[in-house]
Amino acid sequence: MQRYFPAASKAAVQQLVSNLIAAFHQRLNTLSWMTPATRTKAEAKLDTLKVGVGYPETWRNYATLAIHHDDPLGNHQRALKFEYQHQLAKLHQPVDRGEWWMTPQTVNAVNLPLQNALNFPAAILQPPFFNPKADAAANYGAIGAIIGHEISHSFDNLGADFDAQGKLENWWTPADLKHFEAAGQQLVQQYDQYQPLPGLHVNGQQTLGENIADVSGLTIAYIAYHNSLGGKPAPVIDGLSGDQRFFLAFGQAWRSKIRDAALRQRLATDVHAPANFRALTVRNLDAWYPAFDVKPGQKLYLAPDQRVKIW
Ligand SMILES: [Zn+2]
In degrees and rounded to multiples of 5, residue 117 shows phi and psi of -140, 160
- Residue 260 sits in the same domain as residue 128: yes
pLDDT band at 65 (very low <50, low <70, confident <90, very high): very high
Q: How many angstroms is it from 111 CA to the middle of ligand 1?
A: 7
Question: 82 and 65 in contact (C-beta within 8 Å)?
Answer: yes
The pLDDT assigned to 31 comes to 85
Rounded percentage of the chain residues whose pLDDT exceeds 90: 83
Q: Which residues have a Cβ under 8 Å from the Cβ of 167 and sit 6 or more positions away?
A: none
Residue 284 lies in a domain: yes
Q: For 59-68, 90-99, 102-111, 161-170, which range has the lowest pLDDT when averaged over its residues?
A: 161-170
Q: How many angstroms is it from 1 CA to the middle of ligand 1?
A: 26
- Residue 227 sits in the same domain as residue 105: yes
Residue 83 lies in a domain: yes
- Residue 73 sits in the same domain as residue 216: no
CATH of the domain at 41: 3.40.390.10
Question: 240 and 40 in contact (C-beta within 8 Å)?
Answer: no
Q: How many angstroms is it from 242 CA to the middle of ligand 1?
A: 26
Q: Of the candidates 42, 73, 97, which is a domain's last residue?
A: 97
How many independent structural domains does the chain possess?
2
- Please give all residues whose CB falls under 5 A of ion ligand 1, grouped by chain where several chains appear: 210, 213
- Residue 47 sits in the same domain as residue 63: no
Q: Which residues have a Cβ under 8 Å from the Cβ of 165 and sit 6 or more positions away?
A: 48, 116
- Residue 240 sits in the same domain as residue 136: yes
Q: How many angstroms is it from 244 CA to the middle of ligand 1?
A: 25
- Residue 38 sits in the same domain as residue 142: yes
Q: For 26-35, 145-154, 189-198, 218-227, which range has the lowest pLDDT when averaged over its residues?
A: 26-35
Please tell me the distance from the alpha carbon of residue 309 to that of residue 184, in angstroms, as a whole number.
9
The pLDDT assigned to 152 comes to 93
- Residue 14 sits in the same domain as residue 149: yes
The pLDDT assigned to 1 comes to 63
Residue 228 lies in a domain: yes
pLDDT band at 159 (very low <50, low <70, confident <90, very high): confident
- Residue 69 sits in the same domain as residue 194: no
Q: Of the candidates 74, 97, 120, which is a domain's last residue?
A: 97
Residue 167 lies in a domain: yes
Checking DSSP bridges between strand 117-121 and strand 110-112, what pairing results, if any?
antiparallel
Q: How many angstroms is it from 211 CA to the middle of ligand 1?
A: 8
Q: How many angstroms is it from 164 CA to the middle of ligand 1?
A: 19
Which of 270, 285, 284, 310 lies closest to 153, judged by CA?
A: 310
Q: How many angstroms is it from 280 CA to the middle of ligand 1?
A: 16
- Residue 46 sits in the same domain as residue 64: no
Q: How many angstroms is it from 261 CA to the middle of ligand 1?
A: 23
Please tell me the distance from the alpha carbon of residue 216 to that of residue 223, in angstroms, as a whole number.
11
Q: What is the DSSP letter of 273?
A: P
Residue 311 lies in a domain: no
Mean pLDDT of the chain: 94
204 backbone φψ class: left, alpha, beta (φ>0; ψ -120 to 50): alpha
Residue 1 lies in a domain: no
Domain range holding 71? 58-97
Residue 159 lies in a domain: yes
**pLDDT tens per residue, range 248-294:** 999 999 999 999 999 999 999 999 999 999 999 999 999 999 999 99
Question: 222 and 285 in contact (C-beta within 8 Å)?
Answer: yes
The pLDDT assigned to 33 comes to 83
- Residue 92 sits in the same domain as residue 193: no
**pLDDT tens per residue, range 177-219:** 888 888 899 999 999 999 999 999 999 999 999 999 999 999 9
Q: Which residues are catalytic?
A: 150, 214
Residue 165 lies in a domain: yes
- Residue 67 sits in the same domain as residue 149: no
- Residue 270 sits in the same domain as residue 173: yes
Q: How many angstroms is it from 218 CA to the middle of ligand 1?
A: 13
Instruction: Report how far apart, in Å, the C-alpha atoms of 34 and of each of 42, 213, 221 are.
Output: 10, 17, 21
Amino acid letter, 159: G
Question: 34 and 42 in contact (C-beta within 8 Å)?
Answer: yes
Q: How many angstroms is it from 238 CA to the middle of ligand 1?
A: 32
